[in-house]
Structure 1
Amino acid sequence: MSHVLVIEDDAAARGGLVEALSNAEHAISSAATGMAGLQVAMETRPDIVLLNLSLPDLDGMELLPMLRAALADIPVIVVTSYDDESRIIAALDAGADDYLVRPFGFGSLLARVRAVLRRREGVSARRPTLVLGGLAIDLSARTAELDGRALSLSPKEFDLLSYMARRAGQVVSKRELLAEVWRTPFSQADKTVDVHVSWLRRKLRESGKSPRYLHTVRGVGLRLDAPRS
């Protein structure tokens, strides 16, 4: 059973999607606004999101990168009445995995959901656990262990750690981390990276003065390495 989040402001359309997905034995969460949908997504971590672009509080095109920043590996299918090619291309470029134009049959929708979930499972199956010294990161399960003990990481702490682990031994700039992990533009005044690095260091049982894994390269960025001893 997969968990599907439906973000749709129209009550009738939302009810139809929920009924069809429930009949196909999916677990369902739903939200009528973009911000409510983002909150539900972060709390429940669904397997897939169905997103209408026309929402009362913000445009779905604004919500897409926000979903991607919060849940980088969760697939999103846009479900909308917009059928112009430029809109479709923009949505796919913004992070949508598929785009379905109304009106459509529920059979077609369910087939798209199955196809996207199969692709996700295939990618997850090919992604190994990253190991650096006593640190083990399971990318598909989004879990991490240090010296055999589970780390309690927030979604963004895990995103930061896994991004650095994929580039182990390389120096990564704060500009790159803001762009790739937070999906936000760089600002010298932005302390988001510094704060999350500080939190992550505590959980890795180290500090900036005595680093084991996360090393600051002054004026350049951060580097994740296995301890040398």
Structure 2
Amino acid sequence: MRLLVIEDEAPMRTALVETLKAEGYRVLAAEDGISGLELACTEPFDLALLDVMMPGLDGFALCRELRKRGKTMPVLMLTAKGQVDDRVEGLDSGADDYLVKPFSLRELLARVRALLRRKEREHALGNELSIGDAVIDFGRNMLHRNHKDQPISSKEAGMLRLLASHPGETVSREKFLDVVWGYNAYPSTRTVDNFIAALRTKLEKDPSKPVHLITVRGVGYRLEP
């Protein structure tokens, strides 16, 4: 697995690179957002770790630019800023997870492993998923139904991928927040319910009587393709 570390503080950058290499990863590093962006766009990586507070091009802007250029590798943001608004901005910019400094190296490695496992599961699912009379194209984040294309957000796509990777199983609201949002950035699991409601309007013939996105009371949701 090839990992990219973009961190402007030399001691932290060195510690991250050495720790990840000790775990068997192949690691390249950049000392600022601009050189990190150039490296990310010229070589393939399985995951990127981005510091938020960098001169020139900060982590938020860098992540948005990576997504804009079609780079889909998981992104783990590292920052000393721990407020909810900062976490939300990081996730909304396209990051998959968020780790607040100071953090333990054990937790960092656990987050990296989780993101890489998630990437492997998504790859195994392929780029298309059929649910009833709808076809979801994950490559374009598009849902095709009734001879029409409807865009779906990256969060909606992530929720459908998660449900599809657990066929016949109930996925808890907390699991959605942990895997799709990467970090519980919102104060209430009601966020998940709102996204499910939006997906039902796109997937179900009668959203008030869903047959595909099934509610499991008190727990979460189950997919019936």
TM-score band (shorter)? 0.5 to 0.7
Q: How does 1:65-144 map to 2 (within 5 A)?
A: 65-128=64-127
Does residue 15 (structure 1) correspond to residue 25 (structure 2)? The answer is no
TM-fit CA distance, 1:70: 2.2
Whether the 8 Å CA contact 1:5–1:30 is kept in 2: the answer is: yes
Q: Give, in whole Å, the separation in 2 of the partners of 1:98 and 1:8.
A: 16
Match of 2:27 in 1: 28
Question: Which of residues 157, 163, 168 is equivalent to 2:140?
Answer: 163
Match of 2:179 in 1: none
Match of 1:209 in 2: none
Runs of 5+ consecutive residues of structure 2 not aligned to the other structure: 130-136, 155-225
Q: Deviations over 1:167-225 (max 9, x none)?
A: 6x8689xxx9xxx9xxxxxxxxxxxxxxxxxxxxxxxxxxxxxxxxxxxxxxxxxxxxx
Q: Give, in whole Å, the separation in 1 of the partners of 2:103 and 2:86.
A: 18
**Identity in percent:** 37
The structure number with the bigger radius of gyration is 1
Q: Give, in whole Å, the separation in 1 of the partners of 2:42 and 2:88.
A: 29
Whether the 8 Å CA contact 2:142–2:149 is kept in 1: the answer is: no
Q: How does 1:32-71 map to 2 (within 5 A)?
A: 32-71=31-70
Q: TM (normalized to structure 1)?
A: 0.57
Q: Give, in whole Å, the separation in 2 of the partners of 1:166 and 1:69.
A: 20
Q: Deviations over 1:36-88 (max 9, x none)?
A: 11111111121000000111112211111101122442110001111111100
Q: Give, in whole Å, the separation in 2 of the partners of 1:78 and 1:171.
A: 32
Q: Give, in whole Å, the separation in 2 of the partners of 1:41 and 1:25.
A: 20
Q: Give, in whole Å, the separation in 2 of the partners of 1:128 and 1:82.
A: 35
> For the aligned residues, what is the CA RMSD?
2.8
Q: 1:50 to 1:11 in 2, by over 3 A?
A: same
Runs of 5+ consecutive residues of structure 1 not aligned to the other structure: 131-138, 141-161, 181-229
Q: 1:165 to 1:83 in 2, by over 3 A?
A: closer
TM-fit CA distance, 1:165: 9.4
What amino acid is aligned across from residue 99 of structure 1 in structure 2?
A: Y
Q: Give, in whole Å, the separation in 2 of the partners of 1:21 and 1:97.
A: 18
Q: Give, in whole Å, the separation in 2 of the partners of 1:166 and 1:43.
A: 31
Q: Give, in whole Å, the separation in 2 of the partners of 1:113 and 1:36.
A: 22
Whether the 8 Å CA contact 1:4–1:47 is kept in 2: the answer is: yes
What amino acid is aligned across from residue 113 of structure 2 in structure 1?
A: R
